Amino acid sequence: MRTTYEAVGAERTDVYYAIAGYVVQLSFAGKALLRLMTPALAHRQLPARSAPDLHVCLWDTVETAVPLPQRPWEWRDHIARSDVSSLTSERFQTAYNWPQRHLDILDQARNLAFSCTYNAAQSPADYAGSPLLNILHWWMRSRGLQYIHAGAVGFPDKGVLLAGAGGSGKSTTALACLQSDLVYVGDDYCLIGSAPQPYAHNLYSSAKVHRDNLHRLPHVRSAVSNADSPASEKALLCLQPHFPHKVVPGLPIRAVFLPRPTGRVETRLVPASRMEAFKAIMVSTMMQLAGSNDHDVKALSHFIRQVPCYHLEAGTDLDGLTGTIRKFLSAV
Amino acid sequence: MEQTRYTVEHHKVTAEVIDNEVIIIHLDTGNYYTVAKVGAYVWNLLRQQVAVEDLLEVVVTAYPDAPPETVQSQVKQFIAELAAEDLITPWASHETATGSATLPLPESSPYETPVLEKYTDMQALLLIDPIHDVDDRGWPHLDKPTT
């Protein structure tokens, strides 16, 4: 990669992050991808380190004028979820998201990954809001940490996981908590571990919410970073500059909450089965994460068995919603 | 007399028990299934490679209040469904069976028809995604807008 940076005259920028206790080095060629991806991770930035645990090299083909080489797999090896089966093994994981023209490759043996996108300027909010999704999923999984589609909030010493499909209210619930004394781990993705106790690690300081829901969350309006994007695209929020003490590295988890909007004013907690919670997280996670396999399933089931689960029947009164979460955590 | 046994091929089928309910995921098709109660009991016996003939006897004994013919017929149908969904495969006779003759009895509950609940909402994401409109390096055309 050093040869490539110099040969194409692309400025190289190295940035270091602490993610779930690991040091991750990102080496960017050029500026476009750097500007796109670093805001969501800025709160985890470290001074330069000599020996990262994971090194990711990133570039976009338009700014660097470095195209991808000849495609090394047949399209029959590629599935809609982006997995490339012929380049996936214990050592290597590969995914190509063709609508976004984004390629990720991880070499587990060398702790080295490559991430190439066609044109950073055309990347959607999803990409900027949850960078390195595939690479972190694969690499952290081999270290006993499971990347899942779920958020988490809580008091500084204990929290709840917020799980459910898109549109269930995870983001609204998590963002509503920013106005209370509750802290924030994530709205859409986090890393979970089960040893020594159920725990959720923060990944990003970003959040995404439907624009037509912003009127309910006036306290986050100033955090919108893509105000000029199409109305169909979710609002991407950059939380760290506006809520610097709210985004925490992680929380022990005391329960899984499954939000669902009811249209009523008040919020209620109703017991849910662990199987409901497992299915809610498992389906949406496996649908989004390339390379999901039985390791993901077993890690999630192990986690779920350790905590009670509840339906969070979310009312329209957001103070009542956050109050319900606070009341539960005060009692456990 | 050779007995019929099945096995679960773990490279393509994974299953977890959560609060006495079993969720089975076919990693190749993306389909997932849940079984509970009698179905969960039968699944646990099958994955231990208990011979079907012995399994039927065990289940009939475990539910003495249900007509034996009904139990056997319904359990056989359930096993056939599991096989049709590629969740179990016939066990090769040269392999050593691991099924134990001493098996736990199910929790005390009345007999119910074993049911395999199937969910297909993940299926579309695991289908092969052929892309025909590619450039000379084999990548999607760069002049096409992304979605």
Helix (H, G, I), strand (E, B) or coil at A215: helix
When pLDDT is averaged across residues A167-189 and rounded to a whole number, the result is: 95
CB contact under 8 A, A293 and B27: yes
CA A76/CA B130 separation, integer angstroms? 6
When pLDDT is averaged across residues B124-144 and rounded to a whole number, the result is: 71
CB contact under 8 A, A75 and B129: yes
| Reported pTM | 0.91
Q: What share of chain A is helix, strand, coil (3-state, %, to 5)?
A: 35, 35, 35
Structure tokens at A280: 């809610």
When pLDDT is averaged across residues A118-134 and rounded to a whole number, the result is: 87
Query: What pLDDT is attached to residue A76?
Result: 80
Closest-approach residue (CA) in chain B for A96: B139
Query: What is the overall mean pLDDT for chain B?
Result: 84
Q: Is the dihedral of CA A65, A69, A70, A76 positive or negative?
A: negative
Query: What pLDDT is attached to residue A132?
Result: 95
CB B34 within 8 A of CB B87: no
Angle B37-B41-B47 from CA coordinates, rounded to 5°: 140
CA A13/CA A31 separation, integer angstroms? 8
| Position A2 pLDDT exceeds 50 | no
- Residues A282-304: pLDDT tens digits? 998 988 899 999 999 999 999 99
pLDDT band at A144 (very low <50, low <70, confident <90, very high): very high
Closest listed residue to residue A21, CA positions, set A46, A58, A56, A57: A46
Count how many pairs of residues, chain A against chain B, have C-beta atoms within 8 Å.
Answer: 93
CA A194/CA A56 separation, integer angstroms? 26
pLDDT band at B135 (very low <50, low <70, confident <90, very high): confident
| Position B92 pLDDT exceeds 90 | no
Helix (H, G, I), strand (E, B) or coil at A319: helix
| Position B133 pLDDT exceeds 90 | no
More confident residue, A312 or A64: A312
Q: Mutating which of A70, A75, A83 best tests the B interface, going by the most B Cβ atoms within 10 A?
A: A75
Query: What pLDDT is attached to residue B140?
Result: 78
First to last CA, chain B: 60
Query: What pLDDT is attached to residue B105?
Result: 61
Cβ atoms within 10 Å, residue A179: 16
Interface subset of B 30-69, CB within 8 angstroms of A: 30, 32, 34
pLDDT band at A281 (very low <50, low <70, confident <90, very high): very high
pLDDT band at A154 (very low <50, low <70, confident <90, very high): very high
CA B102/CA A251 separation, integer angstroms? 43
Query: What pLDDT is attached to residue B95?
Result: 55
Closest listed residue to residue A324, CA positions, set A173, A207, A200: A173
CA A108/CA B32 separation, integer angstroms? 29
pLDDT band at B146 (very low <50, low <70, confident <90, very high): very low
Q: Mutating which of A283, A288, A302, A309 best tests the B interface, going by the most B Cβ atoms within 10 A?
A: A283
Furthest-apart CA atoms within chain A: distance in Å: 62
- From the number of C-beta atoms within 10 Å of its C-beta (0-12, 13-18, 19+), residue A118 rates as buried
CB contact under 8 A, A275 and B23: yes
| Beta bridge mates, A155 | A158
| Position A142 pLDDT exceeds 70 | yes
The DSSP letter of residue A78 is B
- Residues B103-121: pLDDT tens digits? 566 667 889 999 999 999 8
CB contact under 8 A, B128 and A75: yes
> Does B140 touch chain A if contact means CB atoms closer than 8 Å?
yes
CB contact under 8 A, A294 and B14: yes
CB B56 within 8 A of CB B115: no
Helix (H, G, I), strand (E, B) or coil at A57: strand
- Residues A241-271: pLDDT tens digits? 999 999 999 999 999 999 999 999 999 999 9
| Position A1 pLDDT exceeds 50 | no
Nearest to B138 among A71, A282, A301 (CB): A71
Closest-approach residue (CA) in chain A for B36: A275
Beta carbons within 8 Å of A267's beta carbon, 6+ residues apart: A312, A313, A314, A315, A317, A320, A321, A323, A324
